[in-house]
Amino acid sequence: MIQEVIADRGYGRGPTYSDLRAQGIRHYIPLHDPRTGHGKLTPGEFKYDRRNDRYQCPEGHHLYPYERLDNGIKRYRILGGHCRNCPIKDKCLPDTAQDRARFVYRGLHQDEIEAVRRRQNTKTFVRRLIERKWKIEGIFGEAKVNHALRRARYRGLPKVQIQFFMIAIALNCKRAVLGRLGYLLRLLLLLTLERKVLAPRKTTFWINDKICATGNAIEKSLEKASTFAV
């Protein structure tokens, strides 16, 4: 059973988040656009009152549901003409719409979007995205460039799955061979270093400023070495 999904921001959509949540799958998918769920004119300073289904603007006025669009998005608008004399109207409304009331969009998956917006800057979320880059993106890139994953060779899902399975087998075989070669190379390097460090060296032993004996320091026993000790 799939318990976790990691993907790039191309999949960062509200329906995707809701579907994964319904299946109990924890995901690490950043928002497709940092402004996703904010609407075209919403700066993010508007607070949503879930109990009363309304927004509150920075000046304390409320925006109520005005209409529902075809794609399920609701539009909230300030009533009572408060925007006309608002002190921050120039910052809140675009230059071409200074005479109308402010409105905010809210989609069906807004709760999921807001949850991702809070999570996507955490250390765990960022670390998982970095992990995806070197675990997944590199493999996909290798499969596309070297193993014809860029396009399907045959028609039909079963045949495409067979193609993917064959590519995966090829990649796993390469990893197995490289892993064995890597082990052998590390072993060879270790033996080389040991030979350099522990290589027999000709050692000269001195007693009273006179050469007493010469020989192999590694092969000589401790008893012989102690015999020549001053």
In a domain, 100, yes or no: yes
In a domain, 40, yes or no: no
Range(s) of the domain holding residue 218 = 200-230
Q: In which band, very low, low, confident or very high, does the pLDDT at 166 lie, cut at 50, 70 and 90?
A: very high
In a domain, 41, yes or no: no
Q: Are residues 156 and 192 in the same domain?
A: yes
Q: What are all long-range contacts of 125-133, with beta carbons under 8 Å and residues at least 24 apart?
A: 125/28, 125/30, 128/6, 128/28, 129/6, 129/28, 129/30, 131/6, 132/6, 132/7, 132/8, 132/28
pLDDT per residue as tens digits for the range 104-131: 888 788 888 888 888 988 999 999 888 8
Q: Are residues 30 and 118 in the same domain?
A: yes
Higher per-residue confidence, 187 vs 37: 187
Residue 221's pLDDT is what? 41
In a domain, 9, yes or no: yes
pLDDT per residue as tens digits for the range 140-158: 888 888 888 888 888 899 9
Q: Are residues 137 and 230 in the same domain?
A: no
| Whole-prediction pTM | 0.53
For the chain, the domain total comes to 4
Q: Which of 180-184, 204-208, 209-213 has the highest mean pLDDT?
A: 180-184
